[in-house]
Amino acid sequence: MLNLFKILEEESARGISCAMCVIVSTQGSTPLKTGARMLVTEQGKLFGTIGGGNLEKKVIENSMEMIAAKESKLFRHNLLQQHGMCCGGTVDVFIECMMPPEKLYIFGAGHVGRALANYAADLSFQVYVIDSRAEELNRIQNNVINKLPLTYDRLLPSLPFDQRSYIAIMTYDHQIDREILAYCLKKPFAYLGMIGSKRKVEVTRKKFLSTQLYSIEELSRVDMPMGYNTGATGPEEIAISILAKIIEEKNKQKTFQEKEVLQHPSPLVSAQ
């Protein structure tokens, strides 16, 4: 038998969004009963079944809609009236959108980078710390954190960037920071920040605008100096101020979606 949860874990690790479809109740004659499951990926791959036929076809369509909307809903199917299935019963299918975890790319394994990685690892992020200095990466003892001992120019083209990517730039070299920032600005991201003084930020803005490759609007999306101005003095305090800003950005969309659900509740939707 298929282990749908194992498949879900594997797809999630690849950054693939999925919908878990579960029959939660049935009435009358139906192809399958309560507990039947099917997994649908954003690419349209199917694992398992909830009964086949027009019912399953409609559930797949609903699943793709839920993935696109990042929502979860309960759908009611009248098999005869809605799908022309002669068994004629009623099936309630709950479709849960399963999003992959957010990725946090930390460029630089210095004092602040290591502290940020350790704090973020306790949250929902998949944490990646990138630094060519193996001795600095080896200072990170948390096995949950992914350590990538490669130079930035070699690694950047192979990293997957999407709307669930959070990027914190804090290397040992200002020029390297700017090169990473220049690359990431043209990629999709949820958050992009660079550590530095006010002077470093001002010089960076002027350099980027002078090339005419980056607009004021693009640069306005960059959090620099990175984090909240809390008067932090040590690596741990600075890391917390940065993580607080990242968490705020992460939760903005989630809060918006929760408000929409409260204002427009839809616990049971007919799958017309």
Task: Supply the mean pLDDT for the chain.
Answer: 89
pLDDT single digits (tens) 47-64: 999 988 899 999 999 999
pLDDT for position 58: 93
More confident residue, 226 or 12: 226
Given a cut of 80, whether residue 20 has pLDDT beyond it is: yes
Region 65-85: mean pLDDT is 89
Give the C-alpha separation, 204 to 197, whole Å: 11
Structure tokens at 183: 């690359």
- State the pairing for strand pair 90-98/18-27: antiparallel
pLDDT for position 1: 55
Q: What percent of the chain has pLDDT over 90?
A: 72
- Put residue 31 in one of left, alpha, beta given phi > 0 → left and psi -120 to 50 → alpha: alpha
Q: What percent of the chain has pLDDT over 70?
A: 92
Q: Where are the domains of the chain?
A: 16-99, 103-255
Structure tokens at 95: 């479709």
Helix-then-strand count for the chain, H and E = 10, 12
| Strand ranges for the chain from DSSP E | 18-27, 37-41, 46-48, 73-78, 90-98, 103-107, 126-130, 146-148, 165-169, 191-194, 222-223, 269-270
Region 26-44: mean pLDDT is 92
Given a cut of 70, whether residue 245 has pLDDT beyond it is: yes
Under DSSP, the state recorded for 268 is S
The mean-pLDDT minimum among 3-12, 170-179, 226-235, 263-272 falls in: 263-272
- State the pairing for strand pair 73-78/46-48: unpaired
Region 140-155: mean pLDDT is 93
Region 1-22: mean pLDDT is 88
pLDDT single digits (tens) 181-204: 999 999 999 999 999 999 999 999
Given a cut of 60, whether residue 259 has pLDDT beyond it is: no
Give the C-alpha separation, 86 to 28, whole Å: 11
In this structure, which amino acid lies at residue 263?
Answer: Q
pTM of the model: 0.76
The C-alpha angle 146, 68, 48, rounded to 5 degrees, equals 80
pLDDT for position 172: 94
**Dihedral (CA of 162, 166, 172, 176) sign:** positive
Q: Does domain 103-255 have CATH number 3.40.50.720?
A: yes
Phi/psi of residue 98, nearest 5 degrees? -115, 105
DSSP letters, 83-149, are: H--TTB-EEEEEEEEEPPPPEEEEE--SHHHHHHHHHHTTTT-EEEEE-S-HHHHTT---TTSEEE-
pLDDT single digits (tens) 84-123: 877 778 999 999 999 888 999 999 999 999 999 999 999 9
pLDDT for position 261: 42
pLDDT single digits (tens) 104-114: 999 999 999 99
- State the pairing for strand pair 103-107/165-169: parallel
